[in-house]
């Protein structure tokens, strides 16, 4: 595995927390380092599975939040 690219750097890269310079170094390494690329793809597969989950609350929960806001609005706010 490429010497200067740690597995933790890869995690930061996957979650878009690396600087542009770090990202470029990681991308270069991914193009040449098979072991690193394999780990990267494996981590991405897990992330993709997690990405499939997005659930919505019922509308009445949203309505209650908006109702609270309007009922408790400062006087000038409510006008």
Binding site for another protein (CB under 8 A): 7-8, 10-12, 15, 17, 42-43, 45-50, 52-58, 61-62, 64-66, 68-70, 72-74, 76-77, 79
Identify which of residues 12 and 37 has a Cβ nearer to another protein in the complex: 12
Question: Taking the complex as a whole, how short is the minimal distance between the CB of residue 1 and another protein, in angstroms?
Answer: 13
Question: Taking the complex as a whole, how short is the minimal distance between the CB of residue 73 and another protein, in angstroms?
Answer: 8
Question: Taking the complex as a whole, how short is the minimal distance between the CB of residue 49 and another protein, in angstroms?
Answer: 6
Query: What are the φ and ψ backbone dihedral angles of 14, each rounded to 5 degrees?
Result: -60, -35
The DSSP secondary structure of 7-70, one letter per residue, reads HHHHHHHHTT-S-HHHHHHHHHHHHH-HHHHHHHHHHHHHHHHHHT------HHHHHHHHHHHH
């Amino acid at each position: 595995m490429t010497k200067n690219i740690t597995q933790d750097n890869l995690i930061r890269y996957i979650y878009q927390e690396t600087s542009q310079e770090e990202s470029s170094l990681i991308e270069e390494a991914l193009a040449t380092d098979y072991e690193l690329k394999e780990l990267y793809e494996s981590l991405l597969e897990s992330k993709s599975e997690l990405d499939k989950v997005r659930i919505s609350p019922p509308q009445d929960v949203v309505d209650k939040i908006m109702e609270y806001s309007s009922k408790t609005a400062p006087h000038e706010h409510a006008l």
